[in-house]
Copies of this chain bind each other. A is one copy, B any other.
Amino acid sequence: MTSREFAKLIGVSQPTVSRALNNSNLVAPETKEYVLKKAREYKFELNSQAQSLKTSRTGTIGILFPKHFISMNNNLMLAHVYDCIQQELSSYDYDIMVIYYDSNSQDFSRFERSIRKKKVDGFLVLRMELMDEEMELIQQYQVPCVFMMNANANIRENLSYFFSDSFYGGYLAGKYFGEFRDYHKMYITVSEERDDASRRFNGYRKGLEEMGYYFRDEDIVQCNIGIRSAYDCVSRHMELLRKRKTAIFTYSDLLAIGAVQACLRHDVAVPEQVQILGMDDMPLATMLQPEISTVHVDVDEIVPKACHLLMELIEKKAVMRQEWVRPRLIIRETSLLV
């Protein structure tokens, strides 16, 4: 049923239907109520494609994921962030389109096309790893964007974001592990998130330095995002870990879990022999035994802020905003001064 037919059916004009259903105040309250009642009765809804064509607003927002994230199973933190976004957006009247992009290929088609074809009103972007051409696109089309979670190296001045302050997070870890005088220090990093990983590391190094510990680059261990990769990495270092007490700070909780698993498997005591500190505080961190000590990244703060700003940008009620959200230390079972 079209709005014209519906209007005729209930005895008003098409504009009146439109105004009532769009909650305009250019319609008498009684009329509005009448139309709404009838709309419920006949289960009439305006066709969103036609609406969009007129208003050039689609009522859907895009969530942009880096493609190397595609497996939520590897990067469970992503699943967590995604959960939060879903939850948050359910209170707004927007639908959600999920779009992946691959920063390695030259095929940005999905993202680019969703802009050019006008399929979304704005984007929530996880990570700021877009290429220059994509940035141009955003500027050129003036499409509202809010970046969130982890930043890469070249942050644009004129874009909105809510990033976790990874440097500070690492710093907290460094200050904390600095207390563990008789423990050798390690850092497990990740090849997929180079920029953010080095931000975390630099903070860690600084925190340790302030405590009088000078971290050596050879104590950085490289692995990939994923429990298994960390498990394998740490297993390979097991001889060393047996020999000297070690405090390991990892890029993420996922790696920390892998590290813990490796120690347990090889009967190395956590936290007595090996202290382990993760980062993110993803839900899985407290689901397994022992529970992971970690640097808590406040997704529950970042996500609502980012969503809210995006809505305001779309409705042109706000302008650019940038914020680094500070994480905090949460000590649980895998690290303890004994």
Contacts and interface: CB of A to CB of B under 8 A. Distances in A.
A99 B90 contact: no
Given A79-B76, A227-B287, A118 B48 contact: yes
A48 B119 contact: yes
Nearest to A44: B116
Interface string A83-108: 10011001000011111100000000
Number of copies: 2
A229 to B, nearest CB: 10
A81 to B, nearest CB: 10
Interface residues of A, number: 55
Contact of A71 (B72, B83, B228, B261): B83
Contacts of A82: 72
Interface string A104-142: 000000100110111100000000000000000000000
Interface stretch (A52-60, A199-207, A323-331): A52-60
A236 interface: no
A287 B70 CA distance: 18
Contacts of A95: 97, 99, 110, 114, 119
Given A48-B118, A73-B284, A231-B287, 19 more contacts: A45-B117, A48-B117, A48-B119, A49-B49, A71-B83, A71-B283, A72-B83, A73-B79, A73-B83, A73-B283, A76-B79, A86-B98, A95-B97, A95-B114, A95-B119, A96-B98, A227-B288, A261-B289, A265-B289
